[in-house]
Structure 1
């Protein structure tokens, strides 16, 4: 077993960047986002925990243009204009065929890939649950790079996947607009959150 190094807590500036001051935004500055930023964010989030290291998250990067218009056609009306205007958009998806990579990701789990091959429903559930875990880390990874994000539901997942993921078989989870902060980002005043006393129980 590898020993874990003793780590120190993040400072307040880092915590503000990731949590306290971070917001989901609807508008961005005019500055372009290099798609390489998504690669850099993935290099961080890929270390997030998943069950048996299955790592099912897949990212489809959609720049402005024809492909963005295809994507937007599957969004609810309220999500279309802001997505067309975003510097970059990412579809975060789960890959139900994650088991084909287990020889690399989980080499000690002998026979697991073969077992899961005949269990498509189990794979779908595992991919979705663990893909959503990784999608949360995606938001944090992008924020840690100084970017601001607008993650959204509100789309026809079946139609989107039939259009953009027909060959891969990926299942879309979230659409995430990505950019640099604007002076006016279109956010509403921050809503309150539950206190720990309302959400945490110690047994």
Structure 2
């Protein structure tokens, strides 16, 4: 192999990792989530922007409110996961750019003055960060169950505001019995990669 990452870590993050549909009742701690974020915050984005916002749904009341906005097939697993995270894009992320880009403080006004441009950039880069977050969950020895089957407008009204766009809801925990389905096929290298 020509990868720097050792095979055990490769397996943990990718080959042996599966989307989890059931979980044990072992809790996911605040320390675990902070360690995940402190690792994945270094993932690359355009302009070092950090539009991802994470809402942790821990209380039973909040969980009930969330479950009603999930697609029917996602409700039971969302209700029973030890922790659920709503991953959203902050469409006003540009306000932080002067701090994140001290050598180019005018970036927020030069590139992101118009809301449609910000929303497009926030969605793309928060999706990148969401992918890093899922890999970070795996790096913590936990399983992730990312879902896009939900009422986005309902979740926005219930948990966020008009400046945030919900992207993914992720169930997090130790995988339970029968947590995953057999792995579906993936496209081969030659089907994906073209050299010009």
TM class by shorter-chain length? over 0.9
| Cα distance between partner residues in 2 of 1:117 and 1:125 | 10
Query: Superposed, which structure 2 residues align to 1:85-96 within 5 Å?
Result: 85-96=80-91
Which runs of structure 1 show a deviation greater than 3 angstroms over 4 or more consecutive aligned residues?
Answer: 115-118
Question: Are residue 179 (structure 1) and residue 173 (structure 2) matched?
Answer: yes
Number of residue pairs aligned between Structure 1 and Structure 2: 194
Q: Which residue of 1 aligns with 2:191?
A: 198
Shift of 1:188: 1.7
Contact 1:64 1:87 in 2 (8 A): no
Contact 1:99 1:116 in 2 (8 A): no
Q: TM-score, normalized by length of structure 1?
A: 0.91
| Cα distance between partner residues in 1 of 2:75 and 2:163 | 24
Shift of 1:170: 1.6
1:112 to 107, 132, 140: 107
Q: Which residue of 2 aligns with 1:165?
A: 160
Shift of 1:183: 3.5
Q: Which residue of 2 aligns with 1:134?
A: 129
| Cα distance between partner residues in 1 of 2:170 and 2:189 | 28
1:42 to 37, 52, 74: 37
| Cα distance between partner residues in 2 of 1:155 and 1:26 | 16
2:149 aligned counterpart, secondary structure: coil
2:141 aligned counterpart, secondary structure: coil
Render the CA deviation track for 1:66-99: whole Å, top value 9, x for unaligned: 0011111111111111100000000111101101
Q: Which residue of 2 aligns with 1:62?
A: 57
| Cα distance between partner residues in 2 of 1:83 and 1:155 | 11
2:182 to 171, 189, 195: 189
- Unaligned 5+ runs, structure 2: none
How well do the aligned residues superpose, as a CA RMSD in angstroms?
Answer: 1.4
Contact 1:64 1:88 in 2 (8 A): no
1:32 to 10, 27, 33: 27
Contact 2:22 2:177 in 1 (8 A): no
Contact 1:148 1:179 in 2 (8 A): yes
Render the CA deviation track for 1:103-135: whole Å, top value 9, x for unaligned: 211112232223456300000000000000111
1:137 aligned counterpart, secondary structure: helix
Render the CA deviation track for 1:154-193: whole Å, top value 9, x for unaligned: 1111121111102x722110000000122431x2211111
Contact 2:97 2:105 in 1 (8 A): no
